[in-house]
Amino acid sequence: MSRLRSFQIAAAVGASYVIAVGASGQCEPSAIFGPVANYGTGASPHRLQVGDVNGDGFVDIVVSNRPADSVSVLLGNGDGTFADDVTYAGGDTIYGMALADLNGDNRLDIVTANSISDDVSVLLGNGDGTFAAQVRYAAGNGPHSVAVGDVNNDHKADIVVANRFSSDVSVFIGVGNGTFQPQVRYATATAPEFVDIGQANADGHFDIATSSASSGVVSVLLNNMDGTFAPHVDYAAGSFAYDLRFADVDADSVQDLVVAVGATGLGVLLGNGDGTYAPMVTYPTPSNGPFGLALADLDGDGDLDATTAKTNGSVAFVHLNDGTGGFEVVGSAAVGFEPNDVELADFNGDGRPDLVASLNVSAQISVLLNVCEGSGGGCNDADLAMPFGTLDFFDVLEFLQLFSEQDPAADLTGDGAFDFFDALEFLGLMSDGC
């Protein structure tokens, strides 16, 4: 199974895109990314998503254009270059965006969080890189970011939105055909801006985490195992807590929380495995300003590293993981003035995570290919679930679900049948490890 297929599985359940690659040797941090290539977008590009929207096996880029009320789609050519952007109308002032299969047709769709019109827009993918006209659903006040995942375990994609001005999240339960039930709202700490979905405990259900720049906290809402959520529990995060991700950064098979903290640097809350988190530890950047966040194994040592966008500068910081969830800034990549967001994906098929950044002022994105010889490789075909790069309980759950659905990703023997031999192959791959 390809890493791109792994991404599509993750996108179908709304997981953040985290790349992890095998430890085939390390490289110098200063030599990770090559020169910048710029591509035009709409005005003030904000959030980024990556995935194969036209089914050709190449990674494409989708960008939200905040004041232009649109999204730009740039189709990948498979060699690290991209076609000119094609824009699609969204709601009023698009801040957040997610890319996922919302109707179960194995095609990636778009959902945007529209801050001024207080709603979300759903644009269903046609499978050829084009998208249908938006359908909008009322949300809370000031929707700022969005995540997609199956929160009630009915194998249908649901939507979760962070509402900045009403201090809550909206949960839209999916019908399964790309439409959604009216929102149900759950309180968070004051003014949540970013949201992610992951598993804070081991109950097999997606939980919610939000971050708030103004209140300086991360809120965690545990799933009641039916798609409803318990009251939020807050953790101190420091001033200007921005983008956040669920990810296992200390390789204990428990999902931690990683936060871009604008006032200080990169914040890490290690998970205890029971839905609670240790106090945040912050790893400083040379200057303040981290905003966007992406995770990947950048140096090929098997640990998840990070890049953050310094929104009041012109660089993306490279944070290498020491293997225990501790991070150090070891360099930076010049991406262009005022990067809002960063994402990591393999744009040219060489097995290395490349970098894309959205540039607020110049109406462009910057693409930097990974030139680190030590960052290639990957885990094996049993690595089906987030976090990639580790084989754990989440991979077992994902295999069982895919097997029950007769998804091609579960046909590990490649014979077109879904039988005992696929299960044996899965157990063997799990035993082999990454």
Nearest Cα neighbor of 318 from 47, 79, 26 is 26
Secondary structure of residue 367 in the 3-state scheme? strand
Determine the average pLDDT of the residues in 37-61: 96
Count, residues in the chain: 434
Neighbouring residues of 400: CB distance < 8 A, sequence distance ≥ 6: none
pLDDT at 14 over 90: no
Determine the average pLDDT of the residues in 172-201: 98
Give tens-digit pLDDT for 101-146.
Answer: 999 999 999 999 999 999 999 999 999 999 999 999 999 999 999 9
Cis peptide bond prior to 29, omega within 30° of 0: no
Confidence of residue 35 (pLDDT cuts 50, 70, 90): very high
Determine the average pLDDT of the residues in 367-388: 69
pLDDT at 41 over 50: yes
Residue-level pLDDT at 6:
32
Burial of 28: CB neighbours in 10 Å, binned 0-12, 13-18, 19+:
exposed
Nearest Cα neighbor of 406 from 414, 421, 420, 417 is 417
Task: Give me the amino acid identity at 74.
Answer: L
What is the residue whose two structure tokens read 């994906």?
345
Give the integer Cα–Cα distance in Å for 339 and 221. Answer: 30
pTM of the entire structure?
0.82
Residue-level pLDDT at 124:
98
Determine the average pLDDT of the residues in 66-94: 96
Residue-level pLDDT at 54:
97
Determine the average pLDDT of the residues in 359-373: 90
- Chain centroid, CA 132 distance in Å: 23
Average pLDDT, the chain: 88
- Chain centroid, CA 336 distance in Å: 22
Give the integer Cα–Cα distance in Å for 194 and 213. Answer: 9
Confidence of residue 316 (pLDDT cuts 50, 70, 90): very high
pLDDT at 390 over 70: no
Tell me which of 311 and 87 has the higher pLDDT: 87
Secondary structure of residue 66 in the 3-state scheme? coil
Contact 239, 252 (CB under 8 A): no
Contact 14, 309 (CB under 8 A): no
Give tens-digit pLDDT for 394-423.
Answer: 788 888 888 888 877 788 887 888 888 889
pLDDT at 172 over 60: yes
380: Cα within 13 Å, side-chain hemisphere = 14
Give the integer Cα–Cα distance in Å for 201 and 276. Answer: 8
Contact 64, 97 (CB under 8 A): yes
Sign of the torsion angle spanned by Cα atoms 17, 23, 24, 26: positive
DSSP type of residue 395: H
Give the integer Cα–Cα distance in Å for 186 and 167. Answer: 9
Determine the average pLDDT of the residues in 227-232: 98
Mean pLDDT is lowest, of 147-161, 294-308, 404-418, for: 404-418
Q: Tell me phi and psi for residue 62, to 5 degrees.
A: -120, 135
426, two tokens:
């899965």
Neighbouring residues of 428: CB distance < 8 A, sequence distance ≥ 6: none
Residue-level pLDDT at 371:
85
